[in-house]
Amino acid sequence: MFAHNKRLQYTVRVSEPNPGLANLMLEQFGGPQGELAAAMRYFTQGLAEDDPGRKDMLLDIATEELSHLEVIGTIIAMLNKGAKGRLAEAIDQEAEAYRALQGAGNDSHVTHILYGGGPALINSAGQLWNAGYIDSIGEPTADLRSNIAAEARAKIVYERLINVTTDPGIKDALAFLMTREVAHQRSFERALYSMTDNFPPGKLPPVPQYANLYINTSQGPGDMRGPWNQGEPWEYVDDREEQLDVDGGGGSATVELDGTSADAVAAMADRLASDPTSEPLTGLDLGVGAPKQRDGEAV
């Protein structure tokens, strides 16, 4: 069960309202690499986890991410506070209010007209948060790798936000949040490697004859070799013909149909056959130049 304390995990000091900056901050509130996605990623994994160590860790970090959602959301609320009050109370003349919305930059208009200045679960372009941002699949050897990657991405987006912010109080809070992603990445790395045999993920072994092929499908200027495709254990497949039909079965597709189904498929093919020898007049020909007259009979 959750409990909440109204004190934040990190103090938020905003030096002045800035709806344009508020809008950029939405990236980490309702964006794909943001804190709701992080919290829900770990929380849903934690609910399904049976290993006591991982379960505890997932719930610890999920709970902290909810507290980060609160910090970043509070920054947004502070940055929007002035504009929110002015619009709601119609303090400004209409023209001034319109210019303020347009001049605030990027998409902050939607935050004010639709959401009334509150933090909304959208990214900085107004895209609604959706659960497709969460990629948990319920297998820890995969999910921990997903979590490591998610923390790396979130670290970078915070870094970019820091690079466009001048307000020192916000920079401090963002640096804190960025740092915590690094710490979480470390926890997930440790958890992954405290499982024996985490590679390949899952139970089924790869098929040996295909496991070490590197298939050079993109050729031409810029072809490169490096540890990702040379040295042990790689077998480098460069020949276009060898890249095809690697099982040697012909590279075609077949299905066995029963009689009725085969007849149905044949009837469909017959009904919809294209005639490669025709030279049809088409709608396009009719569309060039002056209209042609209809006369009851087709042409």
Would you count residue 275 as binding its own copies (CB under 8 A)? yes
Give yes or no for a contact between 92 and 187, defined as CB atoms under 8 angstroms apart: no
Binding of its own copies at residue 16 (CB under 8 A)? Answer: yes
Distance CA 86, CA 81 (A): 9
Q: How far is the CB of 193 from its own copies (least distance, A)?
A: 4
Nearest distance in Å: CB 17, its own copies: 6
Q: Is the dihedral of CA 11, 15, 21, 22 positive or negative?
A: positive
Question: Least CB distance from residue 143 to its own copies, whole Å?
Answer: 8
Tell me if residue 49 falls in helix, strand or coil.
Answer: coil
Token pair, residue 182, equals 């690094």
Check residue 225 for interaction with its own copies (CB under 8 A).
yes
Query: Beta partners for 235?
Result: 213
The three-state secondary structure class of 199 is coil
For residue 239, state whether it binds its own copies (rule: CB under 8 A). Answer: no
Q: Which of residues 111-150 bind its own copies (CB under 8 A)?
A: 112-142, 145-146, 148-150
**Cα separation, 142 vs 147, whole angstroms:** 9
Report the residue from 19, 35, 38, 157 that binds its own copies according to the rule CB under 8 A: 157
The size of the interface with its own copies (CB under 8 A), counted in residues, is 237
Least Å distance between CB 84 and its own copies?
7
User: Residue 235 is inside which H or E element, if any?
Assistant: strand 235-237
Minimum distance from residue 81 beta carbon to its own copies (Å): 5
Find the binder of its own copies among 19, 35, 239, 281 (CB under 8 A).
281
Contact 180, 64 (CB under 8 A): yes
Determine contact, residues 9/68, Cβ cutoff 8 Å: yes
91 binds its own copies, rule: CB under 8 A? yes
- Looking at 19, 35, 38, 198, which residue binds its own copies (CB under 8 A)? 198
Q: Scanning residues 40 to 79, which ones bind its own copies (CB under 8 A)?
A: 40, 43-45, 47-48, 50-57, 59-64, 66-67, 69-70, 73-79
- Under the binding rule (CB under 8 A), the answer on residue 238 touching its own copies is no
Residue 80 Cβ vs its own copies, minimum distance, rounded to whole Å: 8
38 binds its own copies per the rule CB under 8 A: no
Q: Say if CB 201 and CB 141 are below 8 A apart.
A: yes
The residue within the footprint of its own copies, chosen from 19, 38, 87, 239 (CB under 8 A), is: 87
Q: Which of 19, 24, 35, 38 binds its own copies (CB under 8 A)?
A: 24
Give the integer Cα–Cα distance in Å for 195 and 2: 29
Distance CA 154, CA 11 (A): 20
Q: What is the DSSP letter of 206?
A: P
